[in-house]
Amino acid sequence: MASTNVVQLRRGLVTMATLLCLGLFLSLGNWQLQRGYEKAAIERSVAQNREQLQQLPQLPLADSSAWRNKRVSLSGHYDSSKQFLLDNQIRGGRVGYNVLTPFYLEISQAWVLVDRGWLPQGVSREQLPTVAVDTDEQTIIGAIYVPYAKAYSLGEIAEGEDYDWPRRVQFIDFIELGKRLEIELQPFTLRLSAEVKDGFRRDWQSSQMPAMKHYGYAFQWFAMAAAVVILWYLYSFRKKKTT
């Protein structure tokens, strides 16, 4: 009788552990699936707006997110005296920066931060790269990038706040960067198109992780859930037959 109770207790514990793992794996799989759907929608939006050039209305925009990924042209001039280097940007296994340059729109009398692309860090962090730019009046083309969530970081926005320019920053916060520039920035960046001059490497990605990768992770979690059920079945029912 005692041995029977021990066996039943063990089976009960195994069943509880199985249910917990099953719930966790299914939840993670569904979460990855939803993320995949979201990324697929972003990728479709980028593809639809890649070739169509749209006219940006008077700034500020009533809803910046409605213009996310849209390709627009801006007329004005760069301010080369105060630029930011977005830190810890990796391309092809190399660490570097994205160059963020303020651009003044004469008609709207507004400032937009232009992401001019990526360039490598160099031999040391102490030696910042040269980020020269033409400050004459010009028209530039690019895609509007509106962050999907507020920038998150465990540290401060700037490293040590050494007040030299260009200034290295850890993430984009339009209010904080605007304070450092002593201007009001629009709540989006313009990712400069590859055919426009005064840019660096511009192989823009709609997101760090494509939809297919999320689907792959979802499949893995669902496969693990199925494996847990199979193992539980083999343990529970085959064990019964041998007793």
Half-sphere exposure of 110 (CA within 13 A, CB side): 18
CA distance 228 to 95: 40
Amino acid found at 174: F
pLDDT value at residue 211: 79
- Name the pLDDT band for 161 (thresholds 50, 70, 90): low
Taking only the tens place, the pLDDT of each residue in 171-221 is 999 999 999 999 999 999 999 999 999 999 998 876 667 778 888 999 999
**Hey, what's the torsion of the CAs at 5, 6, 11, 17, to 10 degrees?**
130
pLDDT value at residue 139: 94
Rg of the chain over Cα atoms, rounded to whole angstroms, equals 26
Q: Domain segments of the chain: what residues? A: 2-42+211-242, 70-192
**Above 70 in pLDDT, residue 155?**
no
Backbone dihedral angles phi then psi of residue 175, each to the nearest 5 degrees = -70, -45
Bond before 166 cis per omega within 30 degrees: yes
**Above 70 in pLDDT, residue 107?**
yes
Indicate the DSSP class of residue 65: G
Taking only the tens place, the pLDDT of each residue in 59-80 is 888 888 888 889 999 999 999 9
Taking only the tens place, the pLDDT of each residue in 122-142 is 778 888 888 999 999 999 999
Indicate the DSSP class of residue 168: E
Half-sphere exposure of 129 (CA within 13 A, CB side): 21
- The percent of residues in the chain predicted with pLDDT above 70, rounded, is 85
Element of type H or E holding 97: strand 94-105
User: Which whole-number Å values give the CA distances from 146 to 65, 66, 69, 70, in the listed order?
Assistant: 6, 9, 8, 10
Q: What is the mean pLDDT of the chain?
A: 85
As a whole number, mean pLDDT of residues 81-91 equals 93
- Name the pLDDT band for 12 (thresholds 50, 70, 90): confident
Prediction pTM value: 0.69
CA distance 24 to 196: 48
b/e burial code for range 18-38 (CB count within 10 A of at least 16 → b):
beebbeebeebbeebbebbee
As a whole number, mean pLDDT of residues 35-42 equals 80
Mean pLDDT is lowest, of 42-46, 101-105, 111-115, for: 42-46
- Burial classification of residue 190, based on how many CB atoms lie within 10 Å of its CB (0-12 exposed, 13-18 middle, 19 or more buried): buried
